Chain A
Amino acid sequence: MKGTLNLVGYGLSAIGPAIATGMIFAAYISGVARQPEARSVLQPIAFLGFALAEALALFGLVLAFVL
């Protein structure tokens, strides 16, 4: 077996953002499905939440290669 533990760590750290992204879009979809006119209010919030969660995932990806 060869390889680096960094990638195992990255795999573990990607679990959190994955769950977060799923929950954000699940809430967004069910919110829009219940009240379609709330879409323009919900959209920026959903995208900012997605951006914050995704930023952590990409940060982990970059650090797995940098460190």
Chain B
Amino acid sequence: MKQDEGAAWSIFGYLLSGLLFWGGAGWALDHWLHTHYFVLGGLLLGMGASLYLIWLRFGRE
């Protein structure tokens, strides 16, 4: 059960870093180009990427 707890926290970390990295990239693009839709795309991309990574790491048997 301890490894499970560690896995749960590392899933949380992956999701957070996905949202922060790609969402942050989208936010920077918005800031640079004076638009307002890249941040949403970046957040969705980051969430997809982190879910893919979590599936690779924890979902495969």
Contact B19 A62 (CB under 8 A): yes
Closest CB in chain A relative to B12 CB, distance in Å: 6
| Interface size bracket, A side | 10 to 19
A59 / chain B contacts, CB cutoff of 8 Å: 19, 43, 47
B20 / chain A contacts, CB cutoff of 8 Å: 62
B43 / chain A contacts, CB cutoff of 8 Å: 59, 62-63, 66
- Given A41, A44, A52, A66, which contacts B58 in the complex, CB threshold below 8 Å? A44
- Given B4, B15, B23, B39, which contacts A51 in the complex, CB threshold below 8 Å? B15
Summarize B's interface: helix, strand, loop or mixed: helix
Summarize A's interface: helix, strand, loop or mixed: helix
Closest CB in chain B relative to A47 CB, distance in Å: 4
Known contacts: A55-B47, A55-B50. The answer to whether A47 contacts B60 by CB under 8 A is: no
Contact B54 A48 (CB under 8 A): yes
B12 / chain A contacts, CB cutoff of 8 Å: 54, 58
Give B residues with C-beta under 8 Å from A. 4, 7-8, 11-12, 15-16, 19-20, 23, 27, 39, 43, 47, 50-51, 54-55, 58-61
